Chains A and B, each alone.
Chain A
Amino acid sequence: MSSVLYDVPGPKARRISLIASIAGAVLILGLVAWIVMILAQQGIFEGRRWQIFTRADVWRLLGNGLGATLSAAALAAVIAFPLGLALCLFRIADSPIIRIPVRVVLEFLRGMPVVLMMLFVLLGFGTSPFIAVVTGLVLYNAAVFAEIIRAGISSLPKGQREAGLAIGLTSYRSRMLIELPQAIRRMMPSLVAQMVVLLKDTSLGYIVAYGELLRAVQVMADFLGNAFLFPVFFVAAAIYIAINILVSRLAVWIERRGSKKAAGGTAKAEPAAVEAGAP
């Protein structure tokens, strides 16, 4: 699409574009150089500040933090997905006695900050930080998964459900055997994108004193001294971002693969998909 926005550049436009590119690159490099200079003035690049990474215990602490992050994310994802599926089925149930309360609960969960839920569980029920983090993540993400799957089901052609009912399936079996498999496949990119959000949100555990990666950084900075805050933070942030980019790439890959398979059929994911990408 982007190339439709402008004419194929001629020699003059190409030259201008090249000059603009170089100027932009110089500007960005200048900015980077300026930042590096400020950092150097602070003594960030002194060898001794980075030498801590030769110590095994630093890596062990970082590794423990990463392990805590990943285990909270994995457990939360494993619980949140089936729960979201169940909530989705209740949300679209035929009986309003089930549908309406579930809808209210979902709105409530989706409208609250995750960190508030974590604090609520932590202080309100006096649990360990790990349980607080996982519960907060499960409650929020189950609600989001429910909405994504619902959007997937409502994007299916009506005939799917009608055909299911016509061959004598009950409403529940039609949902389970006909609609859900298609809906989940259609919404796979959104679901994986939401997994990235879940993984990112484990960092909120920092606020409720869960010993995840960022907390490990803080602990090390307190322990080793402020001089080491920047190097440790830099490495931890790089780890976090690298993992998230990997999972995001996975989402893109799944999306490509999916759209190749279901010729002409994949939902050019409806609004909910965009919403799922929301932070």
Chain B
Amino acid sequence: MDVIIENLPLYWEGFLRTLFLSAVSGVIALVLGTLLAAARVSPVAALRGFSTVYVEVLRNTPLTIAFFFAAIVLPRLGVKFEQFEIAAIIALSTYTAAFIAEAVRSGVNSVPVGQAEAARSIGMGFGQVLSLIILPQALRTVIPPLINILIALVKNSSVAGAFFVLELFGYGRQLANANGDAVITVLLGTAFFYLLLTVPLGILASTVERKVAIAR
């Protein structure tokens, strides 16, 4: 127990960096994912094709491969990063965007057909139908799965710890190596900080789910 209390500042720093990585990547992934979902249902064939290929490939790429590419392959190809946080954010947000795009698309499909028909019959174009009528309803129904994706994102950010970013997992590993006699305590401490983020989000997801279920 002493190990955790002694190293609380390190844990805290790692916790904040995990929070930062997750928050920034989460916002980028939400925007990118929604755009991809919009492209997927758009009338322009090239956009549809691009979005489909992007989602299919990224969803089937192991996250470690994405990180390896961003943090190790890219710098050797001449793309230098000032900080490895940027590589981590690129890997996390492009990876997560594919899952968000799929979730949003399933939300778009869940909106009753009549909504789009009504919007078109009063003369709205595709952009208006999507942004004013369909997406607001679609996003609302997919809030619980989106939160679940964000939970996964928080957990996935731990991979960054293995690619030169000192976040919660990175510090946990460092501390575990430094305190060979208290490895289990150190790692349980790390786990506690992750649960501090993921459990409240999980409760939020199930609460929202229940509310949405009642409203429908």
Q: Contact check, B195 vs A108: say whether CB atoms are below 8 A apart.
A: yes
The contact string, 1 if C-beta is below 8 Å from chain A, for chain B 133-161, is 01000000010110011011101101101
Check B57–A279 contact: CB distance below 8 A. no
B148, A278: Cβ atoms closer than 8 Å: yes
From A207, A226, A279, contact of B149 by CB (8 A): A279
B202 touches A115 (CB 8 A): no
Q: Which residues of B contact A33 (CB under 8 A)?
A: none
User: How near does chain A come to B88, taking the closest CB pair, in angstroms?
Assistant: 14
Interface range on chain B (Cβ under 8 Å from partner): 35 or more
Are B191 and A112 touching (Cβ within 8 A)?
A: yes
**Count of CB-CB pairs between chains A and B under 8 Å:** 189
B interface with A by C-beta (< 8 Å): 40-41, 43-47, 50, 56-57, 59-65, 68-69, 72-73, 76-78, 95-96, 99, 102-103, 106, 108-109, 113, 116-117, 120, 125-126, 129-130, 134, 142, 144-145, 148-149, 151-153, 155-156, 158-159, 161-162, 169, 172-173, 176-177, 183-184, 187, 190-191, 194-195, 198-199, 202, 209
Check A214–B44 contact: CB distance below 8 A: no
Q: What would 25 A/B residue contacts be, using CB atoms closer than 8 Å? A: A2-B41, A5-B134, A6-B125, A20-B46, A24-B50, A38-B77, A42-B77, A108-B191, A111-B194, A111-B198, A112-B195, A113-B155, A114-B155, A123-B176, A200-B62, A202-B62, A203-B62, A203-B63, A203-B64, A214-B62, A217-B68, A245-B56, A248-B60, A277-B103, A279-B149
How far, in whole Å, are A10 and B152 apart by their CA atoms in the complex?
A: 44
A73 vs B173: C-alpha distance in the bound complex, in angstroms? 24
Chain B residues with CB under 8 A of A245: 56-57, 60
Measured in the bound complex, the distance between the Cα atoms of B63 and A245 in whole Å is: 15
Residues 225-274 of A contacting B (Cβ, < 8 Å): 226, 229-230, 233, 236-237, 240-241, 244-245, 248, 271, 274
> Cβ of A200 and Cβ of B63 under 8 Å apart?
yes
The number of chain A residues touching the other chain, given as a range, is 35 or more
A260 to B149 Cα, complex, angstroms:
29
Cross-chain contact B77 with A39 (CB below 8 angstroms): yes
Chain A neighbourhood of B62, CB < 8 A: 200-204, 214, 240, 244
CA–CA, A202 to B10, complex, Å?
29
Question: Known contacts A207-B159, A230-B77, A245-B60: does B46 contact A25 (CB below 8 Å)?
Answer: yes
Chain A residues within an 8 Å CB radius of B64: 203-204, 206-207, 214
A167 within 8 A of B: no
Residues of B within 8 A of A115 (CB): 158-159, 161-162, 169
